[in-house]
Amino acid sequence: MFFSNNQTHKIICTMRKFILLTAIAVATAAALVGCNVTRTITTTSSSIKRGDTTVIIQSKTIESYDATKKL
């Protein structure tokens, strides 16, 4: 079976559309089934006064990440 140039062009265009739509569907599915990322920042500070003029300020920052898979 032989196809004319016009028929071959239509078949190639149809295949390209199918591949494009499949890629869009896969990308959408991957985006919907992603990860839940939670960033928690805890900052604490304290000061100690020694005598009349000396003050020591200490600060501490803790960052934690929770990446869990959504089901």
The whole-number pLDDT of residue 35 equals 67
> Residue 61: what residue type?
T
User: How far is residue 54's CA from residue 57's CA, in Å, rounded to a whole number?
Assistant: 10
In the chain, domain spans: 5-69
Query: What's the confidence (pLDDT) of residue 64?
Result: 80
d(CA 65, CA 41): 9
Predicted pLDDT of residue 53: 67
Contact (Cβ atoms closer than 8 angstroms) between residue 36 and residue 68: yes
Q: How far is CA 2 from CA 7, 16, 27, in A?
A: 9, 20, 36
Query: Residue 19 has what pLDDT?
Result: 92
Please list the rounded mean pLDDT of every run of 10 residues in the chain (71 residues).
74 89 88 72 78 72 74 56
pLDDT given for residue 49 in this prediction: 74
